[in-house]
Chains A and B, each alone.
Chain A
Amino acid sequence: DIQMTQSPSSVSASVGDRVTITCRASQDVNTWLVWYQQKPGKAPKLLIYAASYLESGVPSRFSGSGSGTDFTLTISSLQPEDFATYHCQQANSFPLTFGGGTKVEIK
């Protein structure tokens, strides 16, 4: 199985801050990497697929980059509605695997 490691596990930030979350795969997944946003008690929402492609309707302040084993999710200017937990997932092979999640909290 491909192991996915996210860092940090949590980050405190203020509205307007730039936030970067990292996801590392235990083996090469090319650009088959997905990011989700999850708010408490709600289902995850697809944000970015194929490492850097924004899902329709997702604000442009979100961006993704990377290939191979190292990936980043960047929020360029944090908004109040962005406080949530972010999960990465490799979409290269079965079994699909997720990172442990990164909680973005209000400073």
Chain B
Amino acid sequence: EVQLVQSGAEVKKPGESLKISCKASGYIFTNYWIGWVRQMPGKGLEWMGIIYPGDSETKYSPSFQGQVTISADKSTRTAYLQWSSLKASDTALYFCAKLDSLNLDYWGQGTLVTVSS
């Protein structure tokens, strides 16, 4: 059974750094792209970027390029999304999802990130 289990909710202050995780199981981790999607409060879904764990190739949405870093650790079957300096506007629910072709076929449960002074 494919499962993506994300790390727990975070409360941070503006300017702080953060790395959230997504641990995969039930499929060959290195053979499929895995991506991140943002959902701001009461809003729609926004695709942030993806990584191919087999060779760590990444693709970012222009809206998020330079704002976040996506990485993956093959040894622990875990993908990561990180910020070096959070802003209040980063407050959102973040989902990881496995890609099959360019369809997001399995999703994590979401990680709520709250940035507030």
- Give me the interface of A with B, judged by CB distance under 8 Å: 1, 32, 34, 36, 38, 42-46, 49, 55, 87, 89, 91-92, 94-101
Contact = CB atoms under 8 A, between A and B. Distances in A.
A55 B107 CA distance: 14
Provide the main secondary structure of the chain A interface: loop
Interface stretch (B24-32, B76-84, B96-104): B96-104
Contacts, number: 58
Interface residues of B, number: 21
Given A1-B62, A43-B95, A95-B62, A49 B103 contact: yes
Interface of B: 35, 44-47, 59-63, 95, 97, 101-105, 107-110
29 contacts: A1-B62, A32-B102, A34-B104, A36-B45, A38-B45, A42-B109, A43-B97, A43-B107, A43-B109, A43-B110, A44-B95, A44-B104, A45-B107, A46-B103, A49-B103, A55-B105, A87-B44, A89-B47, A91-B101, A94-B59, A94-B61, A95-B59, A95-B62, A96-B35, A96-B102, A97-B47, A98-B46, A99-B44, A100-B44
